[in-house]
């Protein structure tokens, strides 16, 4: 997919390290110019220096420190990005944190609320700020990083789980709101990644995140986890023309046959790859209507 994003321009949040940096690298090597942000200026500067040599003659990498939980900083970020890249048509919301670890009655409330601010509000703010521009140019892609917290309970990580579930339903809703404007909105579950977030879970210990989850984290650390490149490849595909018209979905980079989805467009008009309530009949039970 070396030219999948040729000539395209993207804004990627949380792109100074980890998966965000891997996505930015994949975008650049696929032909895109990228505007990246992160909270730490020094880390962001190192990421920009790493990406710049990968650019072709018509490409550019620009970085701007920004806290996505701060509405004024998000507005300034989007204004700067669209001024520098007038044809900017792709937003990747990657910035996120696990938040406090432990039972809801034990964790610090400020830290819990701050995780919601970053994971949920930060994504909504960035989309809200960029949507008027995407509507003006008449097309676009919004790609949201989600994960296992959206589809299953995570005891000890309630802020993370709640925010990730909420953001997927926001993606589904925004996709319907923007369908008439040719803006596709999708979420990615990138798999079990060995990043700083995994290190946080291991450091927190089994008392805070649960014995089973902590043991899975240790096993993931030993086996290497899912390569960052898997999620980055799906992000490139969702940003490319090949995925045009596929919208409102939560896709697993590891388990879903996402490269084949264009041949299943009619089926995708259903609730496939969406969050939904499971009723008794779905499990072969004859009660509950």
Q: Which domains does the chain have, with CATH numbers?
A: 9-191+228-260 (3.40.50.720), 195-225 (no CATH)
User: Above pLDDT 90, what percent of the chain?
Assistant: 75
In tens, the pLDDT along 111-163 reads 999 999 999 999 999 999 999 999 999 999 999 998 767 888 888 889 999 99
- What is the DSSP annotation of 15-37? -SSHHHHHHHHHHHHTT-EEEEE
Q: Note if 110 is an active site residue.
A: no
> How many other C-beta atoms lie within 10 A of the C-beta of residue 108?
11
Residue indicated by tokens 């920004």: 66
In tens, the pLDDT along 83-124 reads 999 999 999 999 988 889 899 999 999 999 999 999 999 999
What is the average pLDDT value for the chain, to the nearest integer? 91
Residue 252: strand, helix, or coil = strand
What does the angle CA 248 – CA 226 – CA 255 come to, to the nearest 5 degrees? 45
Own/partner long-range contacts of 53-62 (Cβ < 8 Å, ≥24 apart)? 54/25, 54/28, 54/29, 55/28, 56/31, 58/7, 58/33, 59/28, 59/31, 59/32, 59/33, 60/33, 60/34, 60/84, 60/85, 61/24, 61/28, 61/33, 61/34, 61/36, 62/33, 62/34, 62/35, 62/36
Which residues are CB-neighbours of 77 under 8 A, at least 6 positions away? 11, 37, 64, 66, 68, 126, 129
What does the angle CA 143 – CA 217 – CA 149 come to, to the nearest 5 degrees? 35
Which residues are CB-neighbours of 249 under 8 A, at least 6 positions away? 175, 186, 187, 268, 272, 273, 274
Residue indicated by tokens 């830290």: 111
220 has pLDDT over 80: no
pTM score: 0.91
């Amino acid at each position: 997919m070396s030219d999948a994003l040729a000539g395209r321009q993207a804004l990627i949040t949380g792109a100074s390290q980890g998966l965000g940096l891997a996505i930015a690298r994949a975008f650049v090597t696929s032909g895109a110019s990228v505007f990246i942000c992160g909270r730490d200026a020094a880390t962001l500067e190192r990421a920009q220096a790493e990406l710049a040599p990968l650019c072709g003659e018509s490409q550019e990498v620009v970085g701007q420190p920004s806290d996505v939980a701060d509405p004024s900083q998000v507005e300034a970020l989007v204004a700067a990005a669209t001024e520098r890249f007038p044809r900017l048509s792709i937003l990747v919301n990657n910035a996120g944190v696990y938040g406090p670890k432990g039972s809801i009655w034990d964790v610090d409330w400020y830290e819990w609320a701050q995780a919601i601010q970053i994971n949920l509000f930060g994504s909504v703010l960035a989309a809200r700020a960029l949507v008027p521009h995407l509507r003006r140019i008449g097309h676009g892609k919004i790609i949201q990083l989600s994960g296992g917290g959206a589809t299953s309970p995570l005891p000890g990580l309630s802020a993370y789980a709640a925010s990730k579930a909420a953001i997927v339903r926001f993606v589904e809703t925004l996709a319907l709101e923007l369908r008439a404007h040719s803006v596709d909105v999708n979420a990615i579950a990138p798999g079990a990644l060995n990043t700083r977030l995994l290190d946080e879970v291991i450091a927190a210990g089994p008392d805070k995140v649960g014995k089973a989850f902590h043991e899975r984290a240790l096993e993931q650390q030993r086996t290497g986890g899912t390569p960052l490149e898997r999620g980055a490849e799906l992000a490139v595909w969702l940003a490319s023309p090949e995925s045009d018209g596929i919208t409102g979905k939560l896709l697993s980079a590891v388990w879903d046959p996402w490269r084949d989805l264009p041949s299943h467009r009619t089926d995708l008009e259903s609730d496939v790859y969406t969050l939904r309530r499971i009723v008794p009949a779905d499990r072969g039970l004859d009660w509950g209507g």
